[in-house]
Amino acid sequence: MTKKVYTDYFFDEPAYNTHDGGYIPLKTPTVEPQPLAVPPLLKPDKQTATDDYYTVTAETSETQFLPGKKTKTWGYNAGFLGQTLVFRNGKHTHIDLENKLPELTTFHWHGLDVPGPITDGGCHAPVYPGQTNHIDFDVMQPAATTWLHAHPCPSTATQVWKGLAAMVIIKDDVEDQLPFPRNYGVDDIPLVLQDREFHADNQFDYRADYDPDGVQGHTALINGTINPYFDVTTQRVRLRILNGSNRREWRLHFNDDLEFAQVGSDGGIMPAPVYMNKVMMTCAERDEIIVDFGAYKPGDEVALMTDETPLVHFRIKAFEPDDTQLPDHLVDLPAETPTPGLPVRTITMDGMDEEVAMDGKKFDMQRIDARQKVHDVAIWDINNTNSTENGMVHPFHVHGTQFRVLSRNGGPVYPNEHGLKDTVGVNPGETVRIQVRFDLTGVYMYHCHIIEHEDGGMMAQIESYDPDHPKTYHLMDMDTLRNAFAEEQGVKPEDVWMPGM
Ligand SMILES: [Cu+2]
């Protein structure tokens, strides 16, 4: 059988961010090439056969991105972004969430199947400056590339812009057996794709760059590195790619159209590898790809690009031949059929700019917009009501679950959407049908992951409930958060800048 190789970005070309009025193109960097920063692995405080213990500290720092002045940044156990956490399926995981920032933050586990709303770490779970909160949960999901980011409404976007995002890798016995590269930092490499604007003295100025349709900058940062290179010392390299940018879409390809295999999506390993030479990622999505550099010789260089801009220069060094082929089948997804008799839930992502809304409404953290019985398997139709002429792709994200993508406008899903997902890009005028099950009870947010859109109110929340064990939730309110930000910033509550609100 000849192998199918996809050469398409699939999403609707008229909706690409390049057509936005406010689009900011990336500039090809002029700084000298620098080695790609690979975030260190966060060391556990303690590990037993059954339990892992970590401390995650949100802290302020300064980072040398450009020659000259360092940039004031935030990070998790790091100056910018964070050390990579590695969890193991089946282990009970304890985390101290320490806030050394001058303002409140939250620690959201994007893609983790953990109880909402507190452990999940959305807007309901602030950790105030100088405080440490404790969470613990069972890791109960397959190997995947997930992530941690700040999520305090409505300041998620500004805190992520300052650097509050880190990779969270889940491992399990199934993935351990697959013929994948897994030597972290050598042939198993995280790639956090972001863009930033540098202002006077090399500083970020989120407010100056503010755009309600998503903040962008001219400079690509890959794991916080400008103009990075990576030395290829093994024939096969696995890239765990995260679109960690606030708004930017990444249309990834190599400068010579080198083919690669996508083996993982948001929620884990896909049932089968998908061979391609182009892939588009919307905000918050993760794609794991395996690249075979076997056709190159030492001294060669190949660049990972987005559109016309080089992102990472792969410099080929000597390596041992490794012609390992991927099997046609990788993992079995658990069989799951919709619970009979449930109506289809219809959700709309509406508007652009300040007009964004979910189901015609702005987010209210005290309002529970929908309920779904825990363990029920429900069909959700996600509509993007933007115009197909000048609308945008909205990446739809649900907390606390990994869903299946069933169809796009009643037709097939994209070839790399057959695995578990927590974020799916929905084209203007399109309906994407997904299948959603919550394994835990709780209140979970769902929203557009253009972060300025979620801060602007394109967000709602659903309660996963157990009728035999009803719960009441103490939900956060805007006044409490606004008053806390005011006190931290030394301004009156009415003077707190609430972008998008
Ligand atoms: Cu959006």
Distance 281 CA to ligand 1 centre (A): 14
Kindly report, as residue ranges, where domains of CATH 2.60.40.420 are found in the chain: 32-176, 345-480
Helix (H) or strand (E) holding 481: helix 478-489
Distance 300 CA to ligand 1 centre (A): 40
Distance 304 CA to ligand 1 centre (A): 26
Distance 32 CA to ligand 1 centre (A): 35
Question: Which of 54, 122, 125 lies closest to 91 in space, CA to CA?
Answer: 54
pLDDT at 331: 98
Give per-10-residue mean pLDDT for the chain (501 aa).
89 96 94 97 98 98 97 98 98 98 97 97 97 98 98 93 98 98 98 98 97 97 98 98 98 98 98 98 98 98 98 98 96 94 97 94 96 98 96 98 98 98 98 98 97 95 97 93 92 88 68
Distance 1 CA to ligand 1 centre (A): 40
pLDDT at 253: 98
pLDDT at 209: 97
Question: Which of 158, 136, 180 lies closest to 451 in space, CA to CA?
Answer: 158
Distance 173 CA to ligand 1 centre (A): 36
Distance 449 CA to ligand 1 centre (A): 6
Distance 453 CA to ligand 1 centre (A): 5
Q: Does domain 32-176 have CATH number 2.60.40.420?
A: yes
The neighbouring-strand residues paired with 237 are: 291
pLDDT at 335: 87
pLDDT at 286: 98
Distance 246 CA to ligand 1 centre (A): 10
Are 316 and 482 in contact by the 8 Å Cβ rule? The answer is no
Distance 8 CA to ligand 1 centre (A): 23
Q: What is the rounded CA–CA span in Å between residue 247 and residue 76?
A: 21
Distance 452 CA to ligand 1 centre (A): 8
Are 249 and 255 in contact by the 8 Å Cβ rule? The answer is no
Measured between alpha carbons, how far is residue 131 from residues 100, 105, 106, 468 in Å? 8, 10, 11, 35
Distance 157 CA to ligand 1 centre (A): 13
Distance 239 CA to ligand 1 centre (A): 26
pLDDT at 406: 98
Tell me which amino acid residue 95 is.
I
Distance 85 CA to ligand 1 centre (A): 28
- Looking at residue 355, the DSSP 8-state letter turns out to be G
pLDDT at 1: 56
- What pTM, to 2 d.p., does this model score? 0.97
Distance 458 CA to ligand 1 centre (A): 7
Distance 361 CA to ligand 1 centre (A): 14
Distance 4 CA to ligand 1 centre (A): 32
- What is the CATH T-level fold of the domain 345-480, as seen in this structure? Immunoglobulin-like (2.60.40)
Distance 383 CA to ligand 1 centre (A): 12
Distance 313 CA to ligand 1 centre (A): 31
